Amino acid sequence: MSSGTILVTGATSGFGEAIAWIFAEKGYRLIITGRRRERLEALQQALVERCSAEVLPLCFDVRSRDQVEKAIGGLEATWRTIDVLVNNAGLALGRDAVHEADPDDWSTMLETNVMGLLYVSRAVIPLMIARQSGTVINIGSIAGKEAYPGGNVYSASKFAVDALTKSMRIDLLPHRIRVCQVAPGAAETEFSHVRFKGDSEKARQVYRGFAPLRASDIAEAVWFIASRPAHVCINDMVIMPTAQASAAHLHKSEH
């Protein structure tokens, strides 16, 4: 018997992939999503082989309302009993000052981090309401709590996630659905590779001289939140590397 069903967006790398692993190890059925189909299929195969997990890969772009509605609306009855939704898919693009940044990057960040989260939530939450139970965990960021140089629109998108988490919690209060947020500081995933558009040296520099968070640190926190008894809601968890005191204060060693 499975422990429950989780849908995690952005499972093709980083936090999402680590979240898929931990929930598979705990006996959950998994709906894993992302745009890179080959990665989804490889992850599905590995989860089945190593954890005997039941896995459904759904390939869609969270920015497309149509794709989101078709993918989630088309779920067979056995997959519609989603207990945990992790809104994790997201990205930063660029770290330039606001007067120098590329407005196309702004659109991509806002469409992914804000509209994507909303489209997926809009499609999944009615399934939870029908069962009067569920847990929604939004992946925010320290950038959604504090501004930092060059963070501008990425930060704005994560401030929006912070606000939406609070507002969704109020909307879903009558339905016994928990709405939670995990807000991490610097974590070494593909995040900086994407942010710096494939410039791997620039991405490596971000994590040099200190111990960043690992994807598994965030996955363990998500598991902790989801596995609390039904009467306990962890509203918000800010998780930082010990070497990072705020969005803009990072202690790096010389060597």
**Which residues in this chain contact ligand NDP in the complex, by CB under 6 A?**
9-16, 34-36, 39, 61-63, 88-91, 112, 116, 139, 141, 184, 186-187, 189-191, 194
Element (H, E) at 179: strand 177-184
The residue of the chain with the least Cβ separation from ligand 8X3 equals 141
Q: Counting contacts by CB under 6 A, is residue 143 touching ligand 8X3? A: yes
Residue (39 or 175) nearer to ligand NDP, CB:
39
Cα 75 to the chain's mean position, in Å? 21
* Catalytic residue status for 154: yes
From candidates 32, 93, 153, 186, binder to ligand 8X3 by CB under 6 A: 186
Q: Counting contacts by CB under 6 A, is residue 141 touching ligand 8X3? A: yes
From candidates 24, 58, 142, 180, binder to ligand 8X3 by CB under 6 A: 142
CA separation for the pair 142, 208 (Å, rounded): 19
- Nearest alpha-carbon partner for 84 in 180, 198, 156: 180
> Which of ligand NDP, ligand 8X3, none lies near 247, with the C-beta cut-off 5 to 8 A by kind?
ligand 8X3
Q: Counting contacts by CB under 6 A, is residue 225 touching ligand 8X3? A: no
CA separation for the pair 189, 62 (Å, rounded): 20
Q: Counting contacts by CB under 6 A, is residue 55 touching ligand 8X3? A: no
CA separation for the pair 111, 115 (Å, rounded): 5
Q: Which of 28, 119, 154, 207 is catalytic?
A: 154
Do 210 and 253 meet the contact criterion of CB atoms below 8 Å apart? yes
* Residue 110 exposed, middle or buried by CB count within 10 Å (0-12, 13-18, 19+): middle
For residue 175, what is the DSSP state?
Answer: G
* Footprint on this chain of ligand 8X3 (rule: CB under 6 A): 141-143, 151, 185-186, 247
Q: Which residues are catalytic?
A: 154
